Every structure is written in C-alpha cells, then in structure tokens.
Amino acid sequence: MSSEPIFRVALRGQTIITIPRWNKGTAFTMEERKAFGLTGRLPYRVNTLDEQCDRAYDQLEARPEPLRKNTFLQSLKDQNWVLYYALISRHLEELTPIIYTPTEAEAISNYSHLFRRSEGLYLTFPQQDVMEQDFLEQTRGRDIDLIVCSDAEQILGIGDQGVGIATAKAAIYTLLAGVNPSKTLSVTLDVGTDNEELLNDQLYVGWPHKRVRGEEYDQFIDKFVQLVRKHHPHCLLHFEDFGVNNAKRLLDIYRDKHAVFNDDVQGTGAVTLATVMAAAGVTESTLADQRIVIYGAGTAGLGIARQLRDGMVTLDNISISDANKRFYMLDRFGLIKESLGPGKIRQGLQEFVRPDDEWEGAETNDKGEIGLLEVVRRVKPTVLIGCSTQAGAFTEEVVKEMEKGTERPIILPLSNPSKLHECTPQNANDWTNGKALLATGSPFPPCKMPNGKEYIVAECNNALIYPGLGFGAIASKSRSLTDTMIIAGTRRLAELAPALKDPDDALLPDFGNSPAVNLEVAVAVAQQAIEEGTAGVDWKKEEVREKVKEMQWKPIYGQYVYDEDGER
C-alpha cells in the first residue's frame, strides 16, 4: 500500500462515521467533509493522525486499571480501525499486553458483564440449522483472508468461558503482520459451557447449556469447517482456545484439507522451538543434544514437545523414535511412564511414555508417582520447560539440581499469567549463579547478574511468530500450513536472537521489534511454500519479500473520493 492510497467510497453522512473501517473522525479533510456530507457533523478543526493518537493516549492514561484500558481500546476499535491500530503501534510494548495476554483473559472472563456491542460471528449449537445462512450474512461478497474461531473451552489461565469472541487474536495478526482487518472474521462456536458460575449468571450472553461433546460436537464443528472450505477455500483458519481433548485432534483432522493453524499447539511450540534453538546456539550444541523435561503435559506442553521433536527430525536428521527419547513429560500423575496405564495417559502422549525399567529404584510418592525433583536428579536435563500453571513448581532445590548436570541450564517457565509462573527469572538466575538461559511466558524485568550486569529476559510470546506464520501462508495462498513451513519460520526467528551475538543477551528479539520480526517469519514461510509447491501464487523466491511487504495493511487514512459505485 502506498503512503497515500486513494479509496472510492459509496457511504455518506452519518453512515460513514459510524463504520470503523471508514471513519476518520476529526481527520476528514475539508474537501472530504464537503464530498461526504460531514461539514456540519464534525467540529471545525482538522486533526492529523498523530494528533488523534495523542488525544486518545491521554484518554487512555486517565484509566489506570488494565481492564478499563482494555475496554477503552475495544470501544476505540469499534469507532475507528486506523486510529486503534495506529495508537497501539506507537505504544506497542505498553499496549499489546492490554489488548492481548494477560489482560484479555480478564476481559473474556467478564465478557457477559462488559458486553456492549457484538463483533464477529456467533454460531450456536441449537441454531445450527441456519448456520450457512448466518455465515453468509457476515461474509457474502467479502474477500476473507483469515478466520479465527474458538469454542472457548480452554482459555489460558481461566479455562472454560463458554462464549467470548476471539477478536484479540485477529487484531494481533493485523498489528504485527499486516493482515487487512476488513479481510478477517472472528467466530464464536457456542456449544455450551461446563462453567457453573456462567450457567447460573442471569447476565451470561451465551447458550446456557452444558457443553456438547462427542459426535454431536464433531458434526457441528465439521459443518462450520465445510462452510469455510466451500466459501473461502484460500483463507487461513485459525483454531483458538480449544480444549485439550479437541485441539490437536481437530488440527489433525483438517490440516490436510485446508490451511489450518492452532496457536495453542503450533504457535506455542514454534516460539519455544525458536527459543531452544537460540539457546542451543549459545551452548554450541544441537537440538538433538538436549535432554528435555516438560512440566505440564496439556495442549501447550504436548504442542511444545511435538514441535521440538519435529525440529530435531528436520534439522538434525534423526528418526522420530530417537527424537522422542529426548523428552520426559510430567502431568498431575508425575512422570508419564508405562505403569500409569491407559487410564492415566492422555491421548497424544503415547509417543513420549517412558519405560518403567529406566526408573527402577526411583523415589516415588505414596501413589507410586515420580515427581519433578526426582526426574531432574536422574535425567540431568539441559532444558526445563514449564507450562503447568503451578506457581513455584521450579523450586530452588529443583533448579540447583538441574545446574549440577549442565553448564548453562535452559529454563523456560512459560505459564501465563505471570502469577502462575513456575519460578521467577530472578530466582532462576540467582540459584544458578547467573548461568541460566531464560525465557518466560509473560514480560519480566531484567535480572541482576552476579557480575552486576543485567540479563534481558526473553518473552517467549507466541505473537513473535504466529502472525508471521499465518501471513506467510495467506500471502502465498498456500493450500496448507505445513510442518516444514512452520519450521522455516521458526528457524528464521531463532536466527534473529540477540543471544547469538552476545551469549548474555536475550534468547529472542525484543517484542518492540515484533512487526519487523513477523515480516521476516512471513517471508521465510512464503518462500518455503513456493519451494515445496503448496503455494497458490506464481512468484519467484527472490520476489517474495517485496510481494509480502506490498500486501501488508498499514494504519493510515489515505484519500477518500465519493463514488456511488465505490466500496461500502
């Protein structure tokens, strides 16, 4: 998009200033005000976008609580897309946690009580007989690049929320990768809720019914996916916040039929893989050299294990079975080992089950379960990853035991929000005498090193990679988002790690650089799609960077020309 694009618009008067895609507020020029019938609808002064951002930021600052800031920004987005994205872009590191993790979780948990205006598409189980009609009401005639859908069963840190539109995810795609917001759609798949508090809340806006499961659930989801495939075959379908029994299963069902992506499975795994690759670069080792303990074997933990395993297979040329042996997974039953039996080994974890004969003589609790400390003591892991939401699980004893077995322990307490982290970075740093290579799931201040220097703690944030992964697939019109495309994007992110130039620097780029980082990821993904033949564009690899940059949407107003046959 040029610095001054021209749009032909068919809306006038009150209509144009009530549609957020087209509203400029006080930034409409005098010529535009005359052409669109706005002279008497706006105060005299014409403001620049920068002046509007300054005003909006002052209004935002008057709201001290994060949740109030979140609701203000949501209201701004309902009024003016360009101003919303321009404001956040100017204060990226400060405001991304307000519209996304961690504040968005609080906003979703209060969704029914904060509800003011519907946004996106609500598809509800008892109304599925009109699903296609409802779908087309929202999408007919639109060019859709991205659909983000959620059944809100497992929202990080707050669990089952029944109904709550996943608009933040789509907004991050726009903010950090440049996906055009007019070509995105957020969809709530309301199949009920098992959250008793919501079911008993007279203000709950969703379907007040126990969550539908089994064959009826699968048929409902499939009906939706087939509508996407039928009407928008080239869009990216992003699955968000699905429960542990559905996330990976649905991904496996549809990944060969459409370009689908699950951030909880693949995004978390990809950014963690990039982090571990960067740490391996610091220690001058390979992925296959690592011994990896993952504490928390839910959707995120399993996604991380699979992504790291696939990275070993692709980059280090070892077999899947050999790669699986590098992992030790723990959940609420302790180490996942054979003798737990099928009743305690969740589907999907079978590849990572440890044989019992490895653990003869191991210390167990009264249930015969092997805990984290004993696993660390015997395995001597090089990498310890936490996605358990059990605050303080990485105790001083655990961390010091890990330090005994490796020169530079790689410790990644990734649980969100920050109050649920397995340990603080400062504690991990202190307990390892400044040797730990660290990344966390939420922002933390730098650690004080024993030598007086500061260690920048990398934020292992999915938003550093998933917008680029998705935009790479969108730009290349790929028929699927393949594992090798994800590995290509992940490899590029790892190459940008500051720690590769200074081993005491961060393992990932600063979040303030995330738009530039996601552009690099998108280019790598699109190039890989072209190389492996899944792309739907006729580009040469050397053209990809400029083509992707040309496709990026930017929060600028441009010039409006009134045209009865123009856009609406």
Residue-by-residue DSSP string for 393-460: -S-HHHHHHHHHH-SS-EEEE--SSGGG-SS-HHHHHHHTTT--EEEESS--PPEEPTTS-EEPPEE-
Report whether 264 belongs to an annotated binding site.
yes
Q: What's the CATH fold of domain 115-258?
A: Rossmann fold (3.40.50)
Give the DSSP H/E element, type plus range, for residue 473. helix 466-475
Residue at token pair 């968000």: 240
Residue 188 confidence (pLDDT) above 70:
yes
pLDDT at position 245, please? 87
The 10 Å CB-count burial string (b at 16+, else e) for 266-277 is bbbbbbbbbbbb
**Tokens 């059944």 -> residue:** 151
Reply yes or no on whether the pLDDT at 1 is more than 50.
no
CA distance 196 to 341: 31
The DSSP output letter for 382 is S
Q: What is the mean pLDDT of the chain?
A: 94
Any idea what DSSP says for residue 367?
T
pLDDT digits (tens, 9 = 90+) for 514-566: 999 999 999 999 999 999 999 999 999 999 999 999 999 999 999 999 999 88
CB 444 within 8 A of CB 469: no
Q: ∠ CA 136-140-146 to the nearest 5 degrees?
A: 90
Residue 461 assigned ligand-binding role: yes
Cα dihedral 394, 397, 400, 406 sign: negative
Do the beta carbons of residue 193 and residue 199 sit within 8 Å? yes
DSSP-derived secondary structure for 179-229: --GGGEEEEEEE-----HHHHT-TT--S--SPPP-HHHHHHHHHHHHHHHH
Is the Cβ–Cβ distance between 490 and 462 less than 8 Å?
Answer: no
Give the tokens for residue 3. 């610095």
pLDDT at residue 162, as a whole number: 85
State whether the Cα torsion 374-375-379-382 is positive or negative. Answer: negative
Closest CA to 35 of 429, 459, 563, 555: 563
Kindly report, residue by residue over 61-111, the tens digit of the pLDDT.
Answer: 999 999 999 999 999 999 999 999 999 999 999 999 899 877 887 888 888
Confidence of residue 366 (pLDDT cuts 50, 70, 90): confident
Report the C-alpha gap between 310 and 425 in whole angstroms.
28
pLDDT tens for residues 230-287? 999 999 999 999 988 899 899 999 999 999 999 888 998 999 999 999 999 999 999 9
Strand order in the sheet with 236-240: 121-124, 184-190, 146-150, 236-240, 260-262
Does residue 126 carry a pLDDT above 70?
yes
Distance CA 55, CA 381 (A): 52
Yes or no: say if 387 and 295 are a contact pair by the CB < 8 Å rule: yes
* Position 366, amino acid: D
Bridge partners for 281 per DSSP: none
Identify any residues that bridge with 286 across adjacent strands, giving them in sequence order: none
Number of H helices, E strands in the chain: 23, 16
CA pair distance 313, 321, nearest whole angstrom: 10
Question: How many CA atoms lie within 13 Å of 238's alpha carbon, on the beta-carbon side?
Answer: 29
Q: Where in the chain is the domain with CATH 3.40.50.720?
A: 266-461
In this structure, whether the domain defined by 6-99 belongs to CATH 1.20.1370.30 is answered with yes
Which residues belong to CATH 1.20.1370.30 in the chain?
Answer: 6-99
Q: How many CB atoms lie within 10 A of CB 349?
A: 17
In Å, how far are 135, 137, 146, 250 from 131, measured between CA atoms? Answer: 6, 10, 19, 20
Secondary structure letter of residue 353 according to DSSP? P
DSSP 8-state class, residue 123: E
Q: What is the mean pLDDT of residues 430-455?
A: 92
* In contact, 434 and 467? CB cutoff 8 Å: no
By CB neighbour count within 10 A (0-12 exposed, 13-18 middle, 19+ buried), where does 84 fall? buried
Residue 459 has pLDDT above 60, yes or no: yes
Tell me the torsion sign for CA atoms 187, 193, 196, 199: positive
Residue 106: partners with Cβ closer than 8 Å, 6 or more residues away: 66, 67, 70
Please give the helix or strand (H or E) that residue 253 lies within, else none: helix 247-254
Q: Using alpha carbons only, what angle is made at residue 290 by residues 287 and 296, rounded to the nearest 5 degrees?
A: 105
The pTM (predicted TM-score) of the whole model is 0.92
Six token digits for residue 482: 């393949």
Task: Please determine, for residue 125, whether its predicted confidence score (pLDDT) is greater than 70.
Answer: yes
DSSP for 22-69 reads: T--GGG--HHHHHHTT-TTTS-SPPPPHHHHHHHHHHHHHT--SHHHH
CA atoms of 565 and 567, how far apart (whole Å): 7
Flag whether 180 is marked binding.
no
Task: At 462, list the tokens.
Answer: 């999915």
Give strand ranges (E) for 257-407: 260-262, 292-295, 327-331, 334-335, 383-386
User: Which pLDDT belongs to residue 2?
Assistant: 45
Residue type, 199: L
pLDDT at 159: 86
CATH annotation of 266-461: 3.40.50.720
Instruction: Kindly report, as residue ranges, where domains of CATH 3.40.50.10380 are found in the chain.
Output: 115-258
Point out the residues that are catalytic.
100, 169
pLDDT, one tens digit per residue, over 473-507 is: 999 999 999 999 999 999 999 999 999 999 889 99
Per-residue confidence (pLDDT) for residue 158, from 0 to 100: 79
